[in-house]
Amino acid sequence: MCGTILAGIADNGVFTSPEVAKAFDFTAEERIYKWWESQGYFKPNLERGGDPFVVSMPPPNVTGSLHMGHAMFVTLEDIMVRYNRMKGDLHFGFLELIMPGLQPRLILYLKLRFLCVYQSSAANRTSSLARVVVERMLAEEGIKRADMGREEFTKRVWTWKEKYGRTITNQIKRLGASCDWTRERFTLDAQLSRAVVEAFVRLHEKGLIYQGSYMVNWSPKLQTAVSDLEVEYSEEPGALYHIKYRVAGGTRDDFLTIATTRPETLFGDTAIAVNPEDERYSKYIGKMAIVPMTYGRHVPIISDKYVDKDFGTGVLKISPGHDHNDYLLARKLGLPILNVMNKDGTLNEVAGLYCGLDRFEARKKLWSELEETGLAVKKEAYTMRVPRSQRGGEIIEPLVSKQWFVTMDSLAERALHAVEKGELTIVPERFEKIYNHWLSNIKDWCISRQLWWGHRIPVWYIVGKKCEDEYIVARNNEEALEKAREKYGKDVEIYQDPDVLDTWFSSALWPFSTLGWPDGQRRILRTFILHQFLRPGTSLLNIKKKLLHLNRHDILFFWVARMVMMGIEFTGTVPFSHVYLHGLIRDSQGRKMSKSLGNVIDPLDTIKDYGTDALRFTLSLGTAGQDLNLSTERLTSTKAFTNKLWNGGKFVLQNLPPQSDLSAWTAIQDYKFDEEESLLKLPLPECWVVTKLHMLIDAVTMSYDKFFLEMLPGKSMIFSGLILLIGMYIEASKARLYQGDGSVASVAQAVLLYVFGSILKLLHPFMPFVTEELWQSLPNRKEALIVSAWPSTSLPRQTESVKKFENLQALTRAIRNARAEYSVEPAKRISASIVANAEVIQYISKEKDVLVLLSRLDLENVSFSQSPPGDASQSVHLVASEGLEAYLPLADMVDISAEMQRLSKRLAKMQTEYDGLMARLSSPSFVEKAPEDIVRGVREKAAEAEEKVTLTRNRLAFLQSTTLMPNQAQ
C-alpha cells in the first residue's frame, strides 16, 4: 500500500511495518529512542515563544540499577512531558528543555515544555550511601577509608559515580524518558556548587544559619548526623530493664525502680523525675538518687507533670544527652547535659569501667553486673520502636553534637502561605493537611554532615581561635582569607570546616540552580522560573507558567517543602505550581518490595519479558497518593493490549488503497471530520465512531490537564477508545471494505485512518514506542509522533448517532449471545425478524449489511417490521433494548429433536445430583452433626442445582411446544 513510505522506513533500519511483522518487536524500542534523540526531538527551542511546562523529578540511587519505584516516577513524569510537548502550538518549535543531571545519590529531572529535565539532587544523602558502597569495595581490597585520606577517598567515589551514574542514565533512557541529555547536570558541577555556596552565604547574612550544639540523629557507622526524615522506625522485639536507684541517705528499702530499654545510657543520667501527683514517690521529691554502677554519683529526684505515672513504674530517668524528649525536658528545667558516647557508638570515659565498649556490648555487661549487685529487678520482653538509618540500616543514636542549622520558622510561614493563596496546589488535596501540619510544627534544620564527599560548608576557622567564637563565612577560600586578614592581620591562618552540607540543601535549590542561578543562563531562568521579573513589554512577560513536581507521597517533606521554601526565598516565587504525589509500588499481595521477601521486580527484566510500553501503561494504573500492587497478570493483560493495538494497525494498513491510487487518496483526504456538516453526512457506524472519538479526546485531555493520570488507563478511557476502534468499528467497517463499492469503502478507510491516528496520539504519552512505530507506518505522515500536534478538543459530535448505534450494538450482542446459548456453529447463517417502531426500523435497516456481518445472519432472510412474525411461537424471542426486539427461528438455530434428547439426558443427571443434595439436607444426623460451614456449603450447592434444573426444564418445555406431532403435521 504505502510503498514509498515503507521503503524509507526500511532504509533507516529503525521502524518495522505491521504489514511485515506479526507483533511489535520490543528490541525496536532502543532503536526508536536513539532515533528520537538523534533527530533532536528532546532539545528545547528557546527562539520561539510558548508557555513553559516544568516537571521536577525525584532522583533514583546511583547504585547500578533502578527499582520499580524509580520506573513509576520516570513513567508518570514522562507521560506528562510527552503530552505537553504534543500540546505545543508550534509543535517542535515550542519551548522545551530537558536538563538531566546526575547526583552522587540520585537522578532527578525538571522538565520545561517541551521539557526541561534536571537530573540530580541529594549529593550528601548520596554521600552516605556512596561511602557505604565504596568502603565495602575498599574492604574487599583490604583498604580502610581512614588509611587513604579524604582526597584519595573522594577520587574513588568519583570513579564509582562515573561508572554507576552512566548505568542509571542508560536505564532511564530504556524507560523512554525523553530528556535532553546534552544538558545533563551533576550536583557537584562548578556552577551548581556556586549556587549552593551562595545560598548558604545569603541565609547566613540574614541570620538564618547558625552553629550550635543540639540533639541530632547520629549514625555511628557513618559517623554523621542524619535528618529526622531519613530515620525509619520499625517495631522490633526488645527488652524492658527494671533497675533500682537507691535514695541517698535512705534505708535499703528506699529506692526507686526505673524501666528503660537502654540501660547503658544511665551513665548520662542527670535527674530522676516523677509525677507530682504520684503519691508513691512524693516523699522522695527533693532528695537525691544514686545512679547505679557510677561509684555513688548523685542526681536530684524532681517532679514534673511530663512524667506519665501510669507508664512503666512511673519513674523516669532523664538522660538528656541520649534522648530527644529528655533533651527538651532538661533544657526546660535547666538540667546539665551529659554525653557518655563516642561518635563510633562506643562508651566514653564518663562510663568509667565501661569506657571503650560498644553500646550493645555495654548493655549486656551492665545488666549482668546489675544482677550480681542486686540492683536488677527484672527484664521483660518488650516491643520497641527502633529508629534505623534509611541509608545503612543501623540503629540511630540520639546525640548532642555541634552542627550547623537553618532557622525554619520564617521560611516555613511563606511556604504555608503559598498553599493558602493557591500559588501551590498539591494533588491529591488531602496531602495539604499533612504539608500544613509539618510546616506548622517544623524544627530547625540540621544541614551539616560529617562526610567526605559533597558540598563543603563555606565556613573557615581561624587557627588558634575557638571555632564557636571565631569563624568566617565566604564564597571561596580567597574571599575567606581576605576577610580574615582584614580582621586578624596578614599573617592569619585559616582552615575550612571539614563537614559537608545535607544532601537536601542542594536539592532544595534544584529548580533554579540548574537554570543558572545565581549567575549565567539568565534567559532560561527567567523564561521558566522568573518570568514575572521581566521588563514590561518583553515578549515573555505574559507567559503562563505551569510547573509540575511529581514525587512519592512519602517524600513530600524530604524535598518538596524544602524546594518551595528555598524557591520563595531566593527567587521570590514558588518553584512549581502543582505537586503530584503518587503512591508506592508493592507486590501482588500488597507487600512492600524488599530483597528479604524476595519479591523485588527488576524493571529491566520486566521490559525484556513484556516491553517498555506494557510496563509504563501498567505502572500508570496507580491512583494519585495510593499504592499500586504490581502483578504479572496486569503486565500480561497490558502486553495483550499492545498486541491488540498492533493488530489494529495491521488491519488499517492492509485495507488502505495503494499509494499509487491518487484518486482514492484524494477521496480519503476530502473527508473533514472536524466539520459538523461533514460529520452529519456520515453513515451511522462512522458517525458514531467519530463522535465517540471526539468525546474521548475531550475526556482524556481534561484528565491530563488536571493531572488525573490514573483516570486515563484506570477508568478505561483509552482502553474503551481502542476497543471501539479495534473491536466494534473494525468489524463494522468490513461491511464497507469487503462488500461495498469504492465510495462506500472510501468513507471507512478515511474513518479508520483518522480514528486510528488519533488514538495513537492519545496513547503516545503512555506507550511511546509501539505508537511511534505504528505512526511511522501510516501514509502521509509529516512529522514524528513525538512532536505531532495533540488532537484538537471540542470537535463536533452527533450524540444521537451514539444512541442509535448503541441500539444496533445491543441487537448484535443479543443475537450473538443467543447463538452461543444454542451452540450455533460460527459459520452457520441464520434468519432473523427485527421488530421495532418505524423510526428505529429506518436507521437499523440502513445498516442491514453491518448487522448481518456482525451477527452472522442470512442476508436474504432478514426482515424488518413493526409487528412480530407469524412463526413467533416457534422462534427465540430477544429483547435487545426498549422497543427493539428480534425473533430467531428455532429451526435455524438447532436440530430440535437432537437438542431435546441432549437436554433430557442432562436434566436427568442434574435431577439426580439435586436429589442427592436434598437427601443429605433432609438427614437430621447430617444437619445437626456436620460443621456449620459444611452444611451451608451443601445448601448453596442445592440452591444452585435447583436453579439449573428449572432452567433446563423450561428450555426443554419450550422445545417441546414448538415440535409438531405427526398427526398435527398432517
Nearest to 557 by CA among 470, 695, 442: 442
E-state strands within 359-447:
376-389, 397-406, 425-427, 445-446
Q: Residue 159: which region, alpha, beta or left (left: phi > 0; alpha: psi -120 to 50)? A: alpha
Nearest to 129 by CA among 343, 387, 402, 449: 449
d(CA 435, CA 318): 32
Distance, CA of 84 to CA of 890 (rounded, Å): 57
What 8-state DSSP symbol labels residue 85?
H
The rounded distance, in Å, linking the Cα atoms of 887 and 873 is 9
Contacts of residue 949, Cβ cutoff 8 Å, sequence gap at least 6: 907, 910, 911, 914
Q: Residue 783: CB partners within 8 Å, gap ≥ 6? A: 91, 92
Which strands, in side-by-side order, build the sheet including 884-889?
A: 857-865, 830-836, 884-889, 875-881
Measured in residues, the chain has a length of 970
Q: Is the peptide bond preceding residue 428 cis, with omega within 30 degrees of 0?
A: yes
pLDDT confidence of residue 520: 54
**pLDDT for the residue numbered 761:** 94
Instruction: Answer whether 283's CB lies under 8 Å from 301's CB.
Output: no
Dihedral over Cα of 584, 588, 592, 594: its sign:
negative
Q: Residue 568, Cα to own-chain centre: how many angstroms?
A: 27
Within its chain, how far is the Cα of 38 from the centroid?
29
Rounded to 5°, the CA angle 452-455-458 comes to: 110
Distance of alpha carbon 884 from alpha carbon 832, whole angstroms: 13
- DSSP annotation string for 750-807: HHHHHHHHHHHHHHTTTSHHHHHHHHHHSTT--S-GGGSPPPPSS----HHHHHHHHH
Question: What cell does 874 get?
Answer: 416457534
**10-residue stretch averages of pLDDT, the chain, 970 residues long:** 39 77 90 93 64 58 66 84 75 32 30 29 42 63 65 68 69 87 75 93 96 90 81 90 95 94 96 94 95 94 91 92 91 92 94 95 96 95 90 87 94 95 85 89 90 88 83 96 94 93 87 78 51 28 35 60 92 82 75 71 88 91 69 88 91 91 91 92 94 90 76 54 73 86 87 94 94 93 91 94 94 94 90 96 94 94 94 88 92 82 89 93 88 90 92 84 49
**Cα 548 to Cα 707: distance, rounded to the nearest angstrom:** 9
pLDDT number for residue 4 = 36
The residue assigned the cell 526500511 is: 10
| Alpha carbon distance 934, 926 (integer Å) | 10
CB neighbourhood size of 672 (10 A): 12
Angle in degrees, CA 505, 510, 512, rounded to 5: 120
What are the grid coordinates assigned to 784, written together? 514524528
Tell me the HSE value of 470 on the side-chain side, using a 13 A CA sphere: 14
Q: Which three cell numbers stand for residue 486?
A: 582584614
Distance (Å) of CA 307 to CA 260, 267, 278, 313: 14, 20, 10, 11
Helix (H) or strand (E) holding 448: strand 448-449
Using CB atoms within 10 Å of the CB of residue 534, give its burial: 0 to 12 exposed, 13 to 18 middle, 19+ buried: middle
Is 884 strand, coil or helix?
strand
* Secondary structure, 3-state, 536-584: CCCCCCCCCCEEEEEEEHHHHHHHHHHHHHHHHHHHCCCCCCEEEEECC
pTM (predicted TM-score): 0.76
**Euclidean distance between CA atoms 777 and 16, whole angstroms:** 8
Between strands 298-303 and 884-889, the pairing is unpaired
- Strand duo 578-582 + 546-552: pairing: parallel
Closest CA to 870 of 830, 819, 835: 835
Q: In this structure, what DSSP letter does residue 660 have?
A: T
Instruction: Tell me 670's DSSP state.
Output: T
Sign of the alpha-carbon torsion through 786, 789, 794, 800: negative
- DSSP conformation class of 358: B
Say how far apart CA 88 and CA 102 lie, in whole Å: 28
Provide the Cα torsion 705, 711, 715, 720; round to 10°: 30
